[in-house]
Amino acid sequence: MKFSMEKNQKFLVEWALYKAEEYLGSAKDNLEKSRFFPCAEDVFKAVETLLEALLYYYGVKRIEYPGSTKKFKGRLALQFLVRDILLLRGRIDRNIYDRYLALATELHFASYRPSKTFEKSELEEHLKFAEDLFFKVKSIVKV
C-alpha cells in the first residue's frame, strides 16, 4: 500500500508542476498581448500551483484544513497549509510566502474594483518571481 501512496504523491507533484508550467506559458502570452488582468490571474495560479506541488511533495494528500465545525477546502485551505507546512517548518522563506499573499490580495481586490489596472512592469516582475519559483520548486522535487 505504501508504494501506491508514494506513486500517487509523485503523480500529484508532477501534475501540479505541469499545470504551473501551463499557467506560466499563458501568463507570458497574455502579457505579450497586453491582456494584463488575465496575465495577473495566470501568474497567481502558477504560484499557487507551485506551492501546491511542494505541499504534495512534503506529504499533503488533500488540500483541506480542519476547522472547528467543518474542513476548509480550496484556496483558504491552501493558504493555511502553505503557512503551516511550508513557512512555519522552514521549507519556504518568508519572502515567498509574503509575495504569494500579496499576489492573492492584489488579485482579490482587483476583482472588486473594475477600474483597477495592472502595470506591465509590475506584471513582468511578478512573472519573473513565478518563473524563479518554478525552477526552485522543480529543483526541490527533482522531477
DSSP summary character for residue 85: I
Domain range holding 27?
2-141
- The CB-side HSE value for 37 (13 A sphere, CA atoms) comes to 10
Residue 12 confidence (pLDDT)? 94
Interatomic CA distance for residues 116 and 106, integer angstroms: 10
Residue 1 confidence (pLDDT)? 42
Total domains present in the chain: 1
- The pLDDT tens digits of the residues spanning 90-139 come to 999 999 999 999 999 998 888 777 777 899 999 999 999 999 999 999 99
The CATH number of the domain holding residue 30 is: 1.20.120.330
Q: How much is the pTM?
A: 0.91
83's CB contacts (< 8 A; 6+ apart) are 97
pLDDT above 70 for 6: no
- The pLDDT tens digits of the residues spanning 18-74 come to 999 999 999 999 999 999 999 999 999 999 999 999 999 999 999 999 888 888 898
